[in-house]
Structure 1
Amino acid sequence: MRYRRADVKGGTYFFTVNLLERNRTLLVDHVDVLRKVMREVKGRHPFQIDAMVILPDHLHAMWTMPEGDADFPKRWMLIKAGFSRRISEGEPRSASRRAKGERGIWQRRYWEHLIRDERDFAEHADYIHYNPVKHGHACTIANWPYSTFHEYVRRGIYPAGWGKAVTQHPTGNAFGE
């Protein structure tokens, strides 16, 4: 059976992208490199970042694609390759990866979900922003610097103290761990 990705041009998608070795901290160790690569890819292949969090070993993002475009696989390939080229080698690589000229940084696949409606959007934004607390990287969401949570607070979408223990999203969606 062949896996088929969603293909809605101009759609909004939620992604989970993982490092191959989940015990590494490359994404926060090299967060400036990741941000630079994402800006470069966005410059050549536009998309809107609706929400995002970068954790040590994985990231979650929600993107809206341009009208008439659903080619997020190309964008992720460029981001992963660009990041990999800019950090020093040293990770173990399988024979398969060596044969294909691949680094051993990223998992080959990633998770994507097509956002269906405003409620689905709000629930995924909540999930993204609460993730550093869920994984024990921060006591409060406000303490995690690698997140669009801070922009959501500036824009008045979340109150500054949102996400402590079990809370209620401003749109009424229950959230918490």
Structure 2
Amino acid sequence: MERPRLVDSGAFRSAMGDMPGAVTVITSWGPDGAPSGATLSAVVSLSLDPPQMLACFDHASNTLGAIQSHGRFLVHVLAHGQQDIAMTFSGKSPNKFRDIAWESGVLGLPKIEGCVVAVACEVENIIESGDHKIVIGRVIEVDREGALNPIVYARRKMLPFESEGANQ
């Protein structure tokens, strides 16, 4: 049986841009003891029993290296008004935390203040696929603000997510 031809990467990227997703920042501690973080678009819940999440990192991600070294990571769902934080963590600057309000939070991981939710995970598995590595984490703890509205990313824009009952 002949395999179907793969779609053009530009067409695929464009199609995925129409699929809204939470704006997330993943943090951990680097091997040098400094906090590390990255904005990711591919972060989802994986399982309820046991509770698991997955996050997809580019092979060259410094934060991926930090997570591999530390073994734990914190998933932040950013709140409306934190678009600048998402942009800061999407870059390669080594000083991402310099102008960001953060503290040592859940499991002692670097926690960005003012997020909708922070989910602490322990690495269970790392799978290589394509140009990314998929990090599967067992959820250890959840820190939820509840009253904040998250932002979503779609069509190359960060937009507020608001709905009746979103804060209940």
The verdict on a shared fold, with TM-score over 0.5 as the criterion, is: no
Greater strand share, structure number: 2
Which structure: greater helix fraction? Answer: 1
